[in-house]
Chain A
């Protein structure tokens, strides 16, 4: 086990280095310049832009820039944003709580919807409940979030005028009002994301439970006189959840990096919207930091999922 872990950890080092090299090269070769706006502004002499480029080391060869970036990253220095000149870690930490709240609740909502609905559908396959749930799930994951997001805004904000559609991270109210305001503004983005993920997860839970429920040991449990409820919750669902847990572990990295589109629509100041504005502004240090953190999380949670799998199902062994 520990040898397996060690080997996996050692493998991930070259993997991450390779990912960072590819990311960096692609970004360096992409057209655009962080100081583009200055170039088209006649008030700003060209020297200012060239001076800034030289000062921030943008004119050096890609190799030199990569080594410089990588070595300072190893020392824990993430660099600073070209557009705001703020340290990248500060920028990300500013955005992280919002992203965690919104995406975390969305993930939670997805699980809370998917587990009971998926299980019930599997217990009574092709019943009316299953038909309706399946139809809704299909609609749910076929509609992209940018569409449902706009639909929600049109209906709940503009037509009914119930909910605000602009998310504000710092609400000046205090006490109950503070929580109430937060809840109100979070309802739509959380619902849009949660239902989208929940729909796919429902289908997954349903098929996993359906696989298990036909197995002999379930019949045995029923035969020995266990109640239906106990049979399902204790014996069927528990075993069916093993692949579901793996899937969810693999989704955790996305909670940290935000949902680019949904954050843009609702103006949620999360990591996703930071990433998209950094991409639009060619702000390489910010793009690098976010994408690299994402790669690290993906690699880590892949490992976690593998370990979790073995822990849940002792038949799997590590060599």
Chain B
């Protein structure tokens, strides 16, 4: 799909012939994110859609207690120190960003009075600045007014390397100025197409200047507010025990009318995913449980005649197999899988294409993941009905055999194909996790039928995903031929995600295997396209570029996508929530309510 076709589709949305949701889903099918699709529509003048969750309660409070379960409890409540989503979610009860991402990629205002656009003058023509207007009636939980100073301070706080904030990447290259008491201007060093990062979503939560000012930089750990958050959110802080429980109560001076619905909120941590699902779906002891990494079969059994259901929403997680383009068995300058080498077999495109045909995604979905893992051909997420023509998955052993035969890989006496004395034998590793081992077995079986032998290896997750420089078994060392894991796309813009195929990101000894290009695939055309997309201001042109990049990755079989893993939460039947795959679970907590 090129730019022209994209523009035709956008016009169709504009004239109402194509629904907005359908467009967004098609873009997701092409490997884009919903927020980028939303941005493309907004730039073409299509109005932002309203959130689909209608808020029914007509007064504030009276909803009783909202009990939620996180099987990993929040360990700290400063959003800018959050090590995982659990901490971001815990913080999000109390803190709010200027705007949040809904499931369809709409930017919805939270603390902002309106979303900046070209039309309302919020976005500058050169793409170098954004002006945000803040809501005026907002007060912090301690009664102090929320102003532009707090936004400017949040930027200073996060951008200071001494603070060691996890949001530093979002804030370090921007400059934030106060225009007036309720207007701020974010200035970028260079034209920035995706401007909605600072002050938006999970890294955009704004902290009060009056409480954190004394604890910027080196002293950041000592701030008492780290443990007793004072924010602007729908609930006020009551109690926090790290790893166990976060409790809040209704904020009587919340800035949105009639909200929130619940009198108290509780986020209990600990335990495991299955019993968390049970407490919501089967016994109804709790109202909501996060991140249901539970086999679909078990979820379905619980749902029968239960008190709740699994709520599934698209996000950016993808279980995929990576092909190593370098030689894992040759050591050069003290490292294996060095970019100075070439994989003796996997660099043959025919072999990779055959492997792609040997991954039976249909069976993986059917037998292992069910609703929680949907077969995909795209490196980014793709609900099956919207898969584009260019990237389509197929499971076909005969075709794989033909391709290998044609490329000169002949079966030997042992049934394994070989060419020039090199055998089609691969070491295929992943982390220890029951569904992954089943997945490995399915692939191995099919590969054997095509004369490809796979040796399976599984590594403990804590080693596999560690960044230990000395350990050769980590995923970033990639000292084997094939490996499989889930990569998470946590950011709404695909730019950062797609840089894992650029040649300057290759993981190597020099960068202590911190580079993000694990496959070590290098392609000049891809690099060039990526550089262009970095500064392309027209969202439609930029979108077309990302679609092209995604297609390149798939057509070259750099990675073999297996299943896309949507977000799954357990929700009680009476509770009304709206999940978004692009933001925190609590992104619109203020609108949660229970049907009487």
Chain A residues at the B interface, C-beta cutoff of 8 Å: 31-33, 35-49, 51-52, 55, 80-81, 83-86, 91, 94-95, 153, 157-158, 161, 164-166, 168-170, 172, 264-265, 267, 269, 273-274, 277, 280-282
Contact = CB atoms under 8 A, between A and B. Distances in A.
B243 A166 contact: no
B285 A166 contact: yes
Interface string B221-243: 10000110000000000010111
Contacts of B285: 157, 164-166
B552 interface: no
Greatest chain B CB density within 10 A among A33, A83, A85 is at A85
Interface in B441-484: 462-463, 465-468, 471
Contacts of B269: 267
A277 B516 contact: no
B238 to A, nearest CB: 9
A36 B463 CA distance: 10
A44 B171 CA distance: 11
A47 B72 CA distance: 26
A211 B243 CA distance: 48
B336 interface: no
A49 B467 contact: yes
A39 B275 CA distance: 29
B241 A94 contact: yes
B76 A85 contact: yes
Given A51-B161, A277-B73, A31 B270 contact: no
A170 B512 CA distance: 45
The 6 closest A-B CB pairs, nearest first, are A84-B242, A269-B244, A39-B467, A84-B75, A267-B271, A46-B514
Interface in B159-214: 161, 164-166, 168-170, 203
Contacts of A95: 241, 244
Contacts of B168: 44-45, 47-48
A31 B471 contact: yes
Contacts of A84: 75-76, 242-243
B268 A43 contact: no
B83 interface: yes
A34 to B, nearest CB: 8
A277 B166 contact: no
Greatest chain A CB density within 10 A among B168, B242, B516 is at B242
Given A39-B466, A46-B514, A48-B166, A166 B279 contact: yes
Interface in B266-283: 266, 268-272, 275, 278-279, 282-283
B282 A158 contact: yes
Interface string B269-306: 11110010011001101100000000000000000000
Contacts of A153: 275, 278
Interface stretch (B34-42, B394-402, B490-498): B490-498
Nearest to B86: A37
Given A31-B471, A46-B514, A83-B75, A267 B270 contact: yes
A193 B329 CA distance: 52
Given A43-B491, A166-B69, A33 B466 contact: yes
B491 A36 contact: no
19 contacts: A31-B462, A32-B463, A32-B466, A33-B466, A41-B166, A43-B170, A44-B166, A47-B168, A51-B161, A94-B242, A94-B244, A95-B241, A158-B282, A161-B283, A165-B283, A169-B241, A172-B264, A264-B270, A267-B275
A128 to B, nearest CB: 39
A170 B466 contact: no
A273 to B, nearest CB: 6
Contacts of B465: 36, 39-40
Contact of A91 (B166, B242, B462, B467): B242
Contacts of B84: 37
Interface string B123-153: 0000000000000000000000000000000
Contacts of A46: 512, 514
A38 B242 contact: no
A267 B245 CA distance: 11
B283 A277 contact: no
B270 A273 contact: yes
Contacts of B164: 48, 51-52, 55
B442 to A, nearest CB: 25
Greatest chain A CB density within 10 A among B81, B164, B497 is at B164
B216 interface: no
A33 B244 CA distance: 22
Contacts of A55: 164
A166 B267 CA distance: 12
Contacts of A161: 283
Q: Interface size for chain B: under 10, 10 to 19, 20 to 34, or 35 or more residues? A: 35 or more
Interface in B69-89: 69, 72-73, 75-76, 81, 83-84
A86 B227 contact: yes
Contact of B169 (A43, A86, A277): A43
Contacts of A168: 245, 266, 268
Contacts of B266: 168
B192 to A, nearest CB: 16
Nearest to B161: A51
B83 A38 contact: yes
A80 B242 CA distance: 12
Nearest to A279: B462
A85 B243 CA distance: 12
B542 interface: no
A64 B164 CA distance: 23
Nearest to A280: B462
Contacts of A32: 462-463, 466, 468
Given A83-B243, A265-B271, A273-B244, 15 more contacts: A31-B463, A32-B463, A33-B466, A36-B462, A42-B497, A43-B203, A48-B169, A91-B242, A164-B283, A164-B285, A166-B271, A166-B285, A170-B239, A170-B241, A280-B462
Given A84-B243, A166-B286, A267 B468 contact: no
Contacts of B467: 33, 36, 39-40, 49
A274 B73 CA distance: 11
A52 B462 CA distance: 19
Contact of B244 (A37, A169, A281): A169
Interface in B495-542: 496-497, 500, 512, 514, 516
B247 interface: yes
A175 B84 CA distance: 38
A36 B466 contact: yes
Greatest chain A CB density within 10 A among B168, B170, B275 is at B275
B163 to A, nearest CB: 10
Nearest to A86: B242
Contacts of B275: 153, 165, 265, 267
Nearest to B516: A42
B203 to A, nearest CB: 7
A277 B462 contact: no
Contacts of B496: 42-43
A40 B165 CA distance: 16
A45 B271 CA distance: 31
B270 A85 contact: no
B83 A170 contact: no
B530 to A, nearest CB: 14
B81 A42 contact: no
B484 to A, nearest CB: 15
B239 to A, nearest CB: 6
Contacts of B271: 166, 264-265, 267
A165 B279 contact: yes
Contacts of B264: 172
Nearest to B271: A267
A91 B165 CA distance: 23
Contacts of B169: 43-45, 48
A42 B490 contact: yes
Contacts of B471: 31
Contacts of B247: 170
A170 B245 contact: yes
A94 to B, nearest CB: 5
A168 B514 CA distance: 41
